[in-house]
Amino acid sequence: MSMAEAMRDADFVLINGVMCETAYLRLPDEDMVPDDIVLEARHGDTEIAFIRADFDGAQYLGDGEYRLSSGYQLRFLTGATLH
């Protein structure tokens, strides 16, 4: 699974085992510069942001989880819809 596929429509992101709500998400593309924000997430009053450069060299760990070069582990999740 590519990171772009994992990120697409993610409502939540698990960051180092902590569930965070996705506040802003932009799929990295060739028009972005290294300092462009790709992901902003919230957990209570805590906010965290990742830039495009953070995703360079990310390793796929399996089961939709990635390790960034900074050491953060991310797993993108979508909310369930009940009908």
Q: Which residue has the higher pLDDT, 6 or 25?
A: 25
Tens of pLDDT, residues 33-77: 999 999 999 999 999 999 999 998 899 998 889 999 899 999 999
- Do 52 and 58 form a contact (C-beta atoms < 8 A)? no
Q: What is the structure's pLDDT at 81?
A: 53
DSSP helix/strand/coil, 55? helix
How much is the average pLDDT of 15-39? 93
Q: What is the structure's pLDDT at 59?
A: 94
Q: What is the structure's pLDDT at 23?
A: 94
Residue 82 has pLDDT above 70, yes or no: no
Q: Is 55 exposed, middle or buried (0-12, 13-18, 19+ CB in 10 A)?
A: buried
